[in-house]
Each structure stands twice: as structure tokens, then as C-alpha cells.
């Protein structure tokens, strides 16, 4: 018996539109458009099932090994596609497109969880001073010598689960800024040791939640921590990434031996 397609509320449509960033995940064309003479945008997308609602025999054969979602009509199994891509996806089904849509959808869901978690985690005011110190860094200052800095901790923490480019960025930030941040934190500790310890615990706490939500993807974890710091402080994402790199080296962000 064929499954019935659900209708989706305005709120659900808002979620589906927002998670795509306003572009079709397959062709990247805008999924809202302005009609000539109209002052309001028109919907230019359809709600498509990632795992087909009623797969035909050819699709069923291709989907062997891919479990049917518990709720085929749930928001977790639908995505906003432009009408052209939706029609093509349904009529000329390709498994690689399903995998691509599933990866996109999982990323959207991951980002939504991270944003919700970020809104629930506060951060100490002391982080503002640290970020300002990072922003004031003079690029002409000498890079730290090996006698002042041991990069092996970063190497061990990032041995697995992180892309080479992201690892390189973290190592560069850690080497370039470690002493400046360490010395500034030491100065803050002399003023209020408890607040600095609370800050360190807050960052570690958010890391643990992000690591639990994304256990196999250190790139995502690193970037979500950086985005949280930037969002909470309204400071540069670049400065937030530098601070996160410091915590990778000096604190509990990415335990040594964690995969």
C-alpha cells in the first residue's frame, strides 16, 4: 500500500527553507524568487523525500543496505529542492544523489543542534580581553622557537579525525599565539583566578557536548566551538579560531588519544 505524503506547516517550511540557506542543495539556484511587478517573494521549491516515499522496484534494488527511516515523512527525511531538481531526483533516481542529499541534511541538522546548544551555553566576560589581545597581535612578531613551545600535544590530539588543512590552521595558530594568550590568561588569573577557571570549564563543557553530537568529525567540533565563542562575544571568527586553537593545545579540547 502506497504511503501518503504529509503536508507541512508554515513553521516546518520555514525550517526547511532556512536550513538550505535559500539555495537548492543540488543545483545551488535560489529557491525563492521575485515575480515581475510583485513586492513579495514567491516560493520556488518543493518538499522532497530523501529516502523515496514510495520507491519503485529499481529504487528498492538500489537502496539495499539503506534502512527505511522510522518516519518517512519526518523533517529529518525531507529537504527543500527546486522543482526541476525534485522532478529529476524522483524520475531519474541516482544513489549518489541520495547520499549527497543525506550528507547535506545531516549537516543542516548538526548545525541546528550546535546553534541551539550555543544559545544555552554562556561564557565568561574575561574572554573579551583575551580576544582583544589576539586581535592586537603584531604579525611582525617572531614566531615561537621550539624551545618555547611543544607542538607534540596538538599533533597527538589531532592525529585522527581531522582534515590536513584544518590541522595545519590549528597548529599555525597555536604556534603563533600560544605565549601571548598564555601570558594574558596568567595576568587575568592574578586578578580573578576563579573566573578564568570557570571560562576554561565553560569551553571544555561546550566541547564535550559538540564532541558527543559529532563524535567522528573533529573539523565540525573545532568550528562549532569557534562559532560559539564568536557569536557569544560578537568578536571576529578569526580571533575565536585562534583562541580555540590555544585550548586544543593547552586544555581539554580534544583529549590525547581520542579518535
Question: 39-84, pLDDT tens digit by residue?
Answer: 788 888 999 999 999 888 888 898 999 999 999 999 999 999 999 9
- pLDDT, position 149: 57
Question: 16-28, pLDDT tens digit by residue?
Answer: 999 999 999 999 9
Same domain, 49 and 91: yes
3-class SS string, the chain:
CCCCCCCCCHHHHHHHHHHHCCECCCCCCECEEECCCCCCEEECCEEEECCCCCCCHHHHHHCCCCCCCCCCCCHHHEEEECHHHHHHHHHCCCHHHHHHHHHHHHHHHHHHHHHHHHHHCCCCCHHHHHHHHHHCCCCCCCCCCCCCCCCHHHHHHCCCCCCHHHHHHHHHHHHHHHHHHHHHHHHHHHHHHHHHHHHHHHHHHHHHHHHHHCCCCHHHHHHHHHHHHHHHHCCCHHHHHHHHHHHHHHCCCCCCCCC
Contacts of 12 (CB under 8 A, 6+ apart): 75
Same domain, 112 and 197: no
* CB-CB contact of 77 with 67 (8 Å): no
Same domain, 112 and 144: no
Structural domain count, the chain: 2
Question: 49-58, pLDDT tens digit by residue?
Answer: 999 998 888 8
Domain membership of residue 82 (yes or no) is yes
Last residue in a domain, options 118, 146, 172: 118
**Cell numbers 568550528 correspond to what residue?**
223
The predicted model gives 106-132 an average pLDDT of 91
Same domain, 61 and 27: yes
Same domain, 142 and 92: no
Domain membership of residue 22 (yes or no) is yes
Number of Cβ within 10 Å of residue 22's Cβ equals 15
* Range of the structural domain that residue 76 is part of: 10-118
Same domain, 241 and 140: yes
Q: Which three cell numbers stand for residue 134?
A: 589576539
Domain membership of residue 221 (yes or no) is yes
Its pTM stands at: 0.78
Same domain, 209 and 101: no
Last residue in a domain, options 118, 151, 173: 118
Question: 125-160, pLDDT tens digit by residue?
Answer: 889 989 988 888 765 554 544 445 566 777 778 888
Same domain, 100 and 144: no
Same domain, 92 and 161: no
Distance CA 205, CA 212 (A): 11
Same domain, 92 and 211: no
Domain membership of residue 230 (yes or no) is yes
Question: 199-251, pLDDT tens digit by residue?
Answer: 989 999 999 999 999 988 899 999 999 999 999 999 999 999 999 998 888 76
Average pLDDT value over all residues in the chain: 87
Amino acid at each position: 500500500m502506497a504511503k501518503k505524503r504529509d503536508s507541512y506547516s508554515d513553521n516546518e517550511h520555514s525550517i526547511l527553507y532556512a536550513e538550505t540557506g535559500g539555495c537548492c542543495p543540488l543545483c545551488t539556484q535560489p529557491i525563492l524568487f521575485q515575480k515581475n511587478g510583485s513586492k513579495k517573494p514567491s516560493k520556488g521549491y518543493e518538499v522532497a523525500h530523501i529516502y523515496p516515499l514510495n520507491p519503485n522496484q529499481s529504487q528498492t534494488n538500489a537502496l539495499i543496505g539503506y534502512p527505511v527511516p522510522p518516519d518517512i515523512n519526518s523533517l529529518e527525511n525531507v529537504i527543500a529542492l527546486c522543482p526541476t531538481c525534485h522532478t529529476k531526483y524522483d524520475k531519474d533516481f541516482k544513489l549518489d544523489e541520495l547520499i549527497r542529499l543525506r550528507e547535506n541534511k545531516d549537516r543542516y541538522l548538526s548545525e541546528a543542534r550546535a546553534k541551539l546548544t550555543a544559545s544555552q551555553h554562556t561564557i565568561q566576560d574575561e574572554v573579551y580581553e583575551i580576544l582583544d589581545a589576539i586581535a592586537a597581535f603584531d604579525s611582525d612578531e617572531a614566531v615561537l622557537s621550539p624551545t618555547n613551545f611543544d607542538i607534540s600535544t596538538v599533533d597527538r590530539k589531532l592525529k585522527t579525525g581531522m582534515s590536513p588543512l584544518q590541522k595545519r590552521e590549528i597548529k599555525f595558530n597555536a604556534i603563533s599565539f600560544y605565549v601571548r594568550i598564555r601570558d594574558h590568561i596568567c595576568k587575568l588569573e592574578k586578578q580573578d583566578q576563579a573566573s578564568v577557571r570557570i571560562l576554561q570549564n565553560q569551553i571544555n563543557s561546550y566541547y564535550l557536548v559538540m564532541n558527543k553530537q559529532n563524535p567522528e568529525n573533529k573539523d565540525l567540533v573545532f568550528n562549532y566551538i569557534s562559532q560559539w565563542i564568536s557569536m557569544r562575544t560578537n568578536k571576529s571568527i578569526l580571533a575565536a579560531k585562534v583562541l580555540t586553537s590555544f585550548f586544543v593545545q593547552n586544555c581539554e579540547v580534544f583529549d590525547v588519544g581520542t579518535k
